Amino acid sequence: MKIGFVGPIDTALLAETLDLDKDVLPAAYGIPMNSMLVAAFLAAGHEVVVFGLSSQISEPAAWDFGALKIRLGRYRQSHRARDFFKLERADLRSALENEPCDILNAHWTYEFALAALSIDKDALISVRDWAPAILWQMPDAYRLIRFSMAAAVYLKGKHFSVNSPYVKQMIEHWTFNSVDLIPNGIPSESFNPVAQWKGRDESRTVVAINRGFFKRKNLPSLLQAFNQVRITQPNVRLQLIGSGSEKGGEGHRWAIERQLDERVDFLGDMDYSEAQAHLSEASLLVHPSHEESFGMVLIEAMAKGVPVIGGVRSGAVPWVLDEGRAGLLVDVGDADSIAVGMTSLLTEESAWQRFSNAGHAYAKENFQMSAVASRYLDGYEEIRSQKSMSQRFVN
C-alpha cells in the first residue's frame, strides 16, 4: 500500500530511526510520534510518502529513499495564521497532487487536514488535540483561527481517528461520521524499565517535559509544589524540559521573581533522544497539564518504569494512567495536592515500585507502536474498501 502521511514530522528522528545521514534532511515542524509511526509502516512493508512543512527551506523540496519519500513545503515562522495558513496549504496541496497515494492520513485537524481533504474527501483525519479546549484555556486570535480550521475539517471530513476516549467523546458531538479509537504508541525497544527510586548518592530527580510553561501546561503549580517538597527532601532536583522552560526565558524569570528556582534546572528545548536520556535517569515524572488529548510523555516515562503523576481531570490523562492504577492522579490545579503526591512517591519505596511496575506493564500492553500501526492499516483498508464499493455502485 502506498500511504500518504500528511502531518508534522520530526525529520531528525526519522533519519536516525532509518539510519540515514543526520544532515540529509532539514529540520521540520514535527513531533517524534509521527516519525515512529512512519517507521512502523515501512517496517511492515508499505511505501510511505510524508507530506510535511519546514521553516528551513525557501522552496518546496523532495527526497526519495526507496520506499520512503519526503515532500516538504514551506512553513512560515510568523503571521501564518493571518491568511489561515494559505501558503502552507498550497504547498501541501501541490505536493499531494503530484504524488498520488492509495490512502491519505492527515494528522491534526488544521492545515494538514484541510490540504488532504482538498485532494481526497476520503482521507483519514487523525485528531490529536481538542481545539475547543485549547481555545478555552488559551483565548487568543491564533487559537481562534485554529479552532475555525478544525471546525471546517469536522464539517468536511468523513473518516476520523482519535487517540483517546476523551477526544472520541468530544468529537462525536461534532460529526456523525465514523470515529475510530487508535491510541498513540512508541516502539517496542522503548520498553526498558531502567528507572531507580534513588541514585547511588541518595539523590532523586523529578522531570517535567512540556511544550509551554503557563496556562494549560501549568508549570507554575509544579514549581510551587516542588518548593514545598524540597524543604523536606534535600536531595531532590527538578528538571524542566521543553519550550518555555529555557534558562533565562519567561518561565525561568517568573520562578526567580518568586524565589521558586532553587534546585530547579531550566533545560528548555532539546532533541528527542536527549530528553529521553534525562527521563531514563529520573525518579519521577510529574505532568501538571490541565488538559491533554493523550500525553505522549506519560507512556514514554511508563515504558522506562518511571512513575507518573498526572491530573485527575486532565482530559485523557486518567485513561492513559488506567484511572490511577498505572500512575498517581492528583488535582493539578492545587499545588498542595501535587506536593503530597510527589512526597508519597519520593519517600515510600513500596508505592514507587508499585506504580513503576504497573505503569510499565500497562503501557507495554496497550501502547506498542507495532500494534498501533496495525490498527491504522486496518482502518486504511476499511476506507479503501468502502471507497471501492461506492465507486462500483456509482458506475
Q: Mind listing the pLDDT tens digit of every residue in the chain (395 residues)?
A: 999 999 999 999 999 988 888 789 999 999 999 999 999 999 999 999 999 999 999 999 999 999 999 999 999 999 999 999 999 999 999 999 999 999 999 999 999 999 999 999 999 999 999 999 999 988 999 999 999 999 999 999 999 999 999 999 999 888 888 899 999 999 999 999 999 998 878 889 999 999 999 888 999 999 999 999 999 998 999 999 999 999 999 999 999 999 999 999 999 999 999 999 999 999 999 999 999 999 999 999 999 999 999 999 999 999 999 999 999 999 999 999 999 999 999 999 999 999 999 999 999 999 999 999 999 999 999 999 988 776 665 55
Angstrom distance (rounded) from CA 189 to CA 66? 24
- 127 and 156: one domain? yes
- 130 and 223: one domain? no
Whose grid coordinates read 483517546? Answer: 164
- 380 and 345: one domain? no
**Burial class for 77, CB neighbours closer than 10 Å (0-12, 13-18, 19+):** exposed
Q: Are 7 and 106 a contacting pair, CB within 8 Å?
A: yes
> For residues 390, 391, 392 and 393, what is the CA-based torsion angle, rounded to 10 degrees?
50
Q: Name the residue type at position 64.
A: D
Angstrom distance (rounded) from CA 338 to CA 331? 7
Long-range CB pairs of 18-27, under 8 A, 24+ apart, other chains included = 18/42, 18/65, 18/68, 20/65, 24/63, 25/63, 25/70, 26/54, 26/56, 26/57, 26/61, 26/72, 27/54, 27/55, 27/56
- 149 and 248: one domain? no
| Domain carrying residue 131 | 2-187+369-394
From 69, 293, 300, select the one nearest 160 (Cα to Cα): 293
Angstrom distance (rounded) from CA 17 to CA 39? 7
Q: Are 183 and 294 a contacting pair, CB within 8 Å?
A: yes
State how many domains the chain has.
2
- 110 and 223: one domain? no
Question: Does the reported pTM lie above 0.85?
Answer: yes
Domain of 46, CATH number, reads: 3.40.50.2000
**Burial class for 58, CB neighbours closer than 10 Å (0-12, 13-18, 19+):** exposed
